[in-house]
Amino acid sequence: MHHLIRLLLALIVIGVIAPLAVIAYNHPPLTSSPGLLARLGTYLTRHIAQTEAMSAYPERRVYVYRRPAEMVLEAAVASARANGWEIQNIDPKRHYLHAVATTALWHFKDDVEVWVKTADDGGSALYLRSASRVGKADFGANTARIVRLREQIEQRLH
């Protein structure tokens, strides 16, 4: 009976506590809209975070800047390099960046993509995507990564 109880406790730790601990380690937004339960469901079932025009997640909405696309891309490239990411491709004509980030905890490789589109007013719109190559859940790592990347880009633009 004691072995069964130990096995059950081990399964609870592995199945519940460990994923929640990894989510806490990644520091993604947890309490913002659309709420904690929706976010936990996303972090436990998806391995991609990307910006979209009408996302229910505020940090996943497209970011608009009053700066030319070239300047925003330069800030993204500088941020990727400062993070130690491996640059795979920079296409200045398409305002595109593809880099590979290595996770600190498990050393998984994640793809990070940046597209900057020129707006009609001369500004630009920033699209971000971070995707885990392994697994079906990212435990909030990709969301946290695009949040940090956007913050770093904004710091470089000011």
84: CATH: 3.30.310.80
pTM above 0.95, yes or no: no
What are the tens digits of pLDDT across the range 69-101? 999 999 999 999 999 999 999 999 999 999 999
Looking at residue 35, what DSSP letter applies?
-
**131: burial class by Cβ within 10 Å (0-12, 13-18, 19+)?**
middle
Residue 55, domain extent: 2-157
State residue 106's pLDDT score. Answer: 81
State residue 17's pLDDT score. Answer: 74
Total domains in the fold of the chain: 1
State residue 15's pLDDT score. Answer: 72
Arithmetic mean of pLDDT, 122-143: 95
State residue 27's pLDDT score. Answer: 83
Taking CA atoms, 83 is separated from 4, 5, 17, 145, in Å, by 45, 44, 29, 10
How far apart CA 70 and CA 95 sit, in angstroms, is 7
Arithmetic mean of pLDDT, 25-50: 91
Q: Are residues 73 and 127 in contact, defined by beta-carbon separation less than 8 angstroms?
A: no
Size of the chain, expressed as the number of residues it contains: 158
